[in-house]
Amino acid sequence: MPNVLLASPSAFLRIGLMQQLRRRERRFAFVETSTTGQTARLLLDNAIDLAIVDDTLLADADGEHLRDVLLRHARKALLIAMGDPGQSEPAAGTLPVIAGRTDGVLDMGGIARALDHALDTPAVPRLLQRSAAVPPSSATCRREPARPAEIILVAASTGGPGALAALLGKLGPPSVPVVVAQHMPADQTEAFSRHLAVETGLSVSECVSGRLPGAQITVLHGGSDYRIRRTTGAGFWLSTVTVEGNAFHPCADMLFTSAAEAGIRAAAVVLSGMGEDGARGATMIAARGGGVLVQNFDSCVVPGMPSATRAACPSAIVASLPVIAERLARWTAPSYRPATAMAEES
């Protein structure tokens, strides 16, 4: 799967670029950054097939370093001219430039047309050129989990805090552990846990690592990534890990993937958020007999994570927050038995 880096201080531009690339009927692994330094670090630490960079990042103090890194480390790099007229050409050097503004106004239509042309040229690596999409196999994936889920894993990013409060309030006291990977800085998750407890009236705590509490809601400490495994006897254990090149923490893909690898019967939920975190891990959970639920796109502040998960895992059920809560309550009941056919609800 090609790695695509989208670098701009503008979240609107990054979302627009991501949507345009998705229309090419190709699956991409997106990484988003908003600063010059972070963009350079990701390029140095990862194999980036295509880097699309807002040229205003080159105007920063470290802009010359970023330009050199782009030339040396990205298989293909494009600049979006968002800065002052005349700034892009000298800053770009040998990097191709796409006009981002028309008469001073952001021109997403023009960007889309120029981007298609740039990516369809023979100079672009073959893996980035337009081709028939190969849908992921869902032969081993079920819409309903094979057995009762023993844990609920939730991924959320932009728009996630509000969705989480609504979902958990509908779910009520859980019968199994609920682990929340909300993209958030390290200094905010403790207060966020207290906020969720007040909003929902449920027991919510922050967890850094170690033994996972029983049937209650745990918010992973921000700024770090985690693996989960079984403990000897009953229960689960969280360990901190480093996910190379990961720009968002906690990494839901790592949490989901480690659960699947450990043979933990999980129900995965992907809520509102930018990017693709959770999509790969949710697919692994589904392939191991677990269930996957994603928030319906219209109710998301940013639908990137849910839509990416559904694209990667066609067996995922797209549903409203109340329906997700109902499914989770049923999937985690000791008496649960999978239905032979379930219609998608929204």
Q: How many CB atoms lie within 10 A of CB 134?
A: 9
Residue 19 has pLDDT above 50, yes or no: yes
8 A C-beta contact, residue 143 and residue 314 = no
Task: Give catalytic residue positions.
Answer: 157, 183, 277
**Lateral strand order in the sheet of 210-211:** 210-211, 236-241, 225-230
The two tokens of residue 101 are 């503004």
- For the chain, which residues make up each domain, given as ranges? 3-128, 151-331
Give tens-digit pLDDT for 155-197.
999 899 999 999 999 999 999 999 999 999 999 999 999 999 9
- Which whole number is the average pLDDT over 292-313? 91
Confidence of residue 93 (pLDDT cuts 50, 70, 90): low
Domain covering 151-331 in this structure, CATH number: 3.40.50.180
8 A C-beta contact, residue 251 and residue 136 = no
Q: How many CB atoms lie within 10 A of CB 68?
A: 12
Give tens-digit pLDDT for 105-140.
778 778 888 887 877 765 554 445 543 333 344 334
Compute the distance between CA of residue 19 and CA of residue 13 in angstroms, rounded to an integer: 10
Q: What confidence score (pLDDT) does residue 312 get? A: 87
Residue 243 has pLDDT above 80, yes or no: no
The two tokens of residue 247 are 């720009």
Q: What confidence score (pLDDT) does residue 22 get? A: 75
Domain covering 3-128 in this structure, CATH number: 3.40.50.2300
The two domains 3-128 and 151-331 share their CATH topology (first three levels equal):
yes
Residue predicted with more confidence, 18 or 346: 18
Q: What confidence score (pLDDT) does residue 329 get? A: 96
pTM: 0.63
Q: Find the DSSP H helices in the chain.
A: 11-22, 36-45, 63-73, 88-92, 108-119, 160-171, 189-200, 252-261, 279-287, 304-312, 321-331
Cα 298 to its chain centre, rounded Å, is 17
